[in-house]
Amino acid sequence: MDIKRLNNMMSDHGIYSRERLLIPISDPDILVNQTCYIELDQHAKREVAVLYLEGQPSIKSALVLKRTTSEQGRRRILDSLKRSMRVDDGTAQYYLSVSEGDPRAALSEFSEDLRWERQAGLV
């Protein structure tokens, strides 16, 4: 696989703007007895096995990865709630915050509110 295509780059100029590049390996046996980290590559938009030459990621890159992953996770949960409830971002965020981040509890709370509105004749 071409390195530019693997890294979602249109031209060679992208090489200079990246902190790291994904490089395909032809022989997976070179990873045996090595410590690899499974990470989501932001540029390639895919999970990759990362082998750090220093043995582990730097503290800076680990913190950035953790923050990005948690932000993406929250966004996925919020998008899922929006679709399930058929509501806007603000409403989904409200129910997620009321339920202390538990998506099932948020859906349950939303359902209870809808039921109450119907019983009260507000809908």
pLDDT in tens, 25-84: 788 887 788 777 777 777 667 777 777 766 666 665 655 556 655 777 778 888 888 989
Say yes or no to pLDDT of 109 above 90: yes
Q: Which of 67, 103, 99, 61 is nearest to 85 (CA)?
A: 103
Percent of the chain whose pLDDT exceeds 70: 83
Rounded-to-integer distance, Cα 103 and Cα 76, Å: 11
Answer whether residue 90 is part of any domain. Answer: yes
- Residue 66, domain extent: 58-123
Answer whether residue 88 is part of any domain. Answer: yes
* Count of domains forming the chain: 1
Answer whether residue 16 is part of any domain. Answer: no
Element (H, E) at 48: strand 46-51
Residue 119 — pLDDT band, cuts 50, 70, 90?
very high
